[in-house]
Amino acid sequence: MNKIIKGDQVVIISGKDKGKQGRVVRVLGGKVVVEGVNIVKRHQKPNPMRGVEGGVIVKEMPLAISNVAIFNPETNKADRVGVKLIEGESKIKRVRFFKSNGSIIGA
C-alpha cells in the first residue's frame, strides 16, 4: 500500500514551492504531480499532423514523493503516514493512519 495516493491533500516540505499545499493529481512511481505546484513553462513545436499548436505551455511537473508530506486536517500540519492491519468482518484490512495522533486517513 502506498503512503501517498491520488486525491490526498499534501504539503510541499522542500524545494522552491516549500510550504504550498495541493491535491495529488497523479502518482508516477516515486514521483507525484500536485495540483498548482511546480509549475513550469515549456516551449512546444507545432505538429500539424497531430493538430498540436506551437507556443509556450504552462504545466505541472512531477515532484519526488520524498518532498511531500500528507496534510493532517486535525492538527493543520504536515504529518507522517503509517500502515496497520485492522480486522473486519471475516477479513483483515490494511489502513493508513497519521503517526502524530493515530487517526485513520479517509475514515
Domains, the chain, with CATH or none? 9-98 (2.30.30.30)
At 12, list the grid cell: 510541499
Which 8-state DSSP code applies to residue 18? T
Separation between Cα atoms, residue 87 and residue 58, nearest integer Å = 46
Q: Give the pLDDT of the chain (107 residues) as one tens digit per residue.
A: 689 999 999 999 999 999 999 999 999 989 999 999 999 999 999 999 999 999 999 999 999 999 999 999 999 999 999 999 988 788 998 999 999 988 898 76
pTM (predicted TM-score): 0.82
Beta-ladder partners of 87 = 92
